[in-house]
Structure 1
């Protein structure tokens, strides 16, 4: 019986699909990924199931949508009967190892036999909210958005590039390959780095690699959001984006691009060592991200509350043994397809209940194997009573944001946006775009009478998809009681402590049960 192929899995965080050289980006330098892409199946229309860390990572692990596995936002744990790619691989003989971020919100490691967290190789001097070390802070220069979920949106990290947490983690991952190169067991060896996630705070030379004055801002950076869902307008103001300057957006772009090139250099370290050890040719190697990031589009930086292409599209590169199936594929792929694809490629049966599908039939040219639609959701428990949903079918894309009329009542009485004229504006229940004609998602057709038939057809398909998922995570009890964890960004004073507790998957993580799939609009 042939030995199963090794799998080397490289995961980034908040890396958008269009900021890579081989995808035609004219500014960002990604030479290692550009070269690697030549050996890969490159999926140019890959989508996350949710542009938020934990939901996306659990969807990747389970091959299931968030509405089913229950991790609707960063404050939820998977429903207890969920199983992962990593536990399935382990059960079939794979040695499953993780280096870096997992963020599954599970009590254990969700199937990894070994787990080495990022903090094991570096202290917590630099976190998503800024620099916690006072001495390092003295030499740091950065700006945070002045509002909720206040994160570093641009700056210069005074650390040396090899001293950052992700660099030390990558070095440890690469060094471990020396011990694993002769493994009798097939390997599932995963590197999960946080860059280019916030803080957008690269070390030199990456911090100066891209001149902010030369950054081209998207046309929509000062867009009028009056035709967008109310939740978009809320986050735009609440996160303080209305207080940012043109220079802030340009500096944010330059900082983000610097982080991407630093990621590329780390990927080069991994791929170079795999080749030196003779592990490259016959292995499966995956490069992807959990979701993307906004870089000024519609006035946003980072994510939260939106389903635009910039946060929904992800890079997905899979190198199969002997570089089979290399090429560029425009058919839709979803993050939930990664699990069944890897199991299929390893000769392991795909468990029942997996909602993704193996991409191998499509790669092999089987008729009808290519998807023509993808789905997603976004949810913030402190602000929404149920998730917003997204469907892309062909060139059409629809999002639906139910329950926004309740947003005002969910705000605390001292919230600066409560009792303001923002809540006199039209709610706008969703978005409708034809992406071939409007790739920037600027002209919302959701309320256009001329497109009512298209809107209704897509909405009915969206509801049919939801109903067909089977038992869903039960949100009924969320109607009566506010999810206090997800209100952390609405509270004052202890935001950092709450988020740190959340990221440790402590006692504040909520686990839902299941309910029937019958829902009414």
Structure 2
């Protein structure tokens, strides 16, 4: 471990949302009110090209902890499901949290976990402060007790404007719960409660109740479906004023068959735009509700004099279709809607305010980043690279230049992602993406190639287009390089297929 002075190392606040789309807070995106996220962007750096290594909850969260791609840590699908490949992470795997604890950081955690069926944040060095419930990880009853004390027990709220998947979207007996308006007040929501617990942790540190610099992780349960929000957020956005995204024109022509199959599987074949717009309005309202809770947290940092010595990071585990490509939730579709994520970092005194980083980065690069911030060596097992060089240079990617006799390592110009299947069974997907192109390897079906500059909605699969033969070859070579570099176990078979493909 590198020398680290507890008096100078920054505190870190990580705010991780669940299934938040990149475009919701991006310039030029939909008209979603996100003042707190916008503030982080204006006072720090906003990453334009941040991607999750996999668009499924447990796998992405395990990658964030371990700094590894999913094939490295082995949690390939959701740990709570009966078909989970790995219910818990191997105890011997290094994690950024355990390394920070060993280096003298005080770690606290509120909210969603979902990175181990029998494990909890406490198994990875965090002091758990509550906020979970029976949604995938029944860690404690803190939120239920909170609601009982407020006289609004969980499960007793009235719901209106309910939407479900299936042939009868208004029938509770059918399908998956998509969206609704809840009768509870804002202070009764889990988002508000998680912010309260986070503020409690901040105040505890400010009062000197805890030793050393702190790392607090606040994991919000939204805007993951069901998009259930109270007023005024439920009616903040008018469905009649929401226009379909360009990708809503999806025909699935020339796409893998599973894309169209997923419409029926998710139960949204019969959804028209009016229904999607109603659901999307609730999704946006959910994002704004959470953003306002982040605003309260940022104010607490300021009020307790901790803002200047605390790094604040906002990210999401992955995105959400929310009607794009006419899809619901996520799945074996490697579009930017679910793979591109928001990422903002505010680091007073280090990050230049209002910076924009165009370098492609991964969610689990944060694992290495947190360690470098804390003066801790990054374990060799990590498939992550620290973002600190990008943060220190205002978002400029490190180039192959000689500085004082040392050659700096070039920043990759692409990202790598994967998917291993879910309820449909196991199958192999790999994706490589540059600023211009995206290539998706689909083991059991046709591959995909998109020209992101001319077709940002990813509607036209160019995999067989003769004019893109050179691009296809280049992107396949990039994918082979990523698989070899990360010791992807499928590289033995897949690389042979890619190398011999026309």
TM-score, normalization by structure 2: 0.84
**CA shift in 2, pair 1:93/1:376, >3 Å:** same
Structure 1 vs Structure 2 CA RMSD: 2.4
Equivalent runs, 1:227-376 vs 2, <5 Å:
227-322=254-349, 324-326=351-353, 327-363=355-391, 364=393, 365=396, 366-368=398-400, 369-376=410-417
Distance 1:39 1:344, change over 3 A: same
> Aligned-pair distance for 1:81?
3.1
1:15 and 1:197 in contact (8 A); partners too: yes
- CA deviation after TM superposition for structure 1 residue 450, in Å: 2.9
* Cα drift, residue 124 of structure 1: 10
1:145 aligns with 2:165: yes
Aligned to 2:220: 193
Superimposed CA distance per residue, residues 242-291 of structure 1 (whole angstroms, 9 cap, x where no aligned partner)? 11122111101101110011011000010000000011111111111000
In structure 2, the partner of 1:388 is: 429
CA distance in 2, matches of 1:18, 1:166: 21
Q: State the partner residue of 1:113.
A: 126
Alignment of 1:446 onto 2:451: no
* Contact 2:111/2:220, CA 8 A, preserved across alignment: yes
CA contact (8 A) 2:360 2:414 kept: yes
Contact (CA 8 Å) 1:97, 1:188: kept in 2 or not? yes
8 Å CA contact 2:266, 2:328 repeated in 1: no
Shift of 1:114: 0.9
Of 9, 13, 27, 2:14 maps to 9
TM-score (norm 1): 0.81
How far apart in 2 are the matches of 1:367 and 1:459?
Answer: 24
TM-aligned CA deviation for residue 187 of structure 1 = 0.5
User: How many angstroms does 1:80 deviate by?
Assistant: 4.4
Tell me the distance in 1 between the aligned counterparts of 2:266 and 2:145: 24
Shift of 1:381: 4.3
Alpha-carbon distance in 2 for matches of 1:44, 1:186: 29
In structure 2, the residue corresponding to 1:398 is in which secondary structure? strand
Question: Out of 442, 448, 458, which is 2:475 matched to?
Answer: 458
320-329 or 352-361, which deviates more: 320-329
Equivalent residues of 1:118, 1:166 under 8 A apart: no
In structure 2, what is the equivalent of residue 218 of structure 1?
245
Cα distance in structure 2, aligned partners of 1:94 and 1:133: 35
Residue matched to 1:97: 108
> Whole-Å Cα distance in 1 between the matches of residues 435 and 200 of structure 2?
44
Counterpart in 2 of 1:203? 230
Contiguous gaps of at least 5 residues in structure 1? 127-131, 405-428, 473-515
CA distance in 2, matches of 1:371, 1:106: 34
> Do the aligned partners of residues 258 and 293 (structure 1) sit closer, same or farther apart at CA in structure 2, a change above 3 Å counting?
same
User: Are 1:29 and 2:33 an aligned pair?
Assistant: yes
Check whether the contact 1:125–1:136 (CA below 8 A) recurs between aligned residues.
no
What is residue 89 of structure 2 aligned with on the other side?
A: 78
3-state SS of 1:322 partner? coil
Cα deviation 1:99-154 (Å, max 9, x = unaligned): 0111111643242331124233323999xxxxx966435x443111118x943323
The structural deviation recorded for 1:236 is 1.5
Per-residue CA shift, 1:308-348, capped at 9, x if unaligned?
Answer: 01111111111124252431111111112111112112211
Partner of 1:513 in structure 2?
A: none
Q: Structure 2 residue aligned with 1:51, among 48, 55, 79? A: 55
Deviation digits for residues 26-80 of structure 1 (CA, Å, limit 9, x no counterpart)? 5111112212221212111100001111111111111110111111111333344
Q: Are the aligned partners of 1:17 and 1:314 in contact in 2 as well (CA < 8 Å)?
A: yes
Counterpart for residue 23 of structure 2: 18
Quote the Cα distance in structure 2 between the aligned partners of 1:343 and 1:176. Answer: 21
Deviates more, 1:84-93 or 1:451-460: 451-460
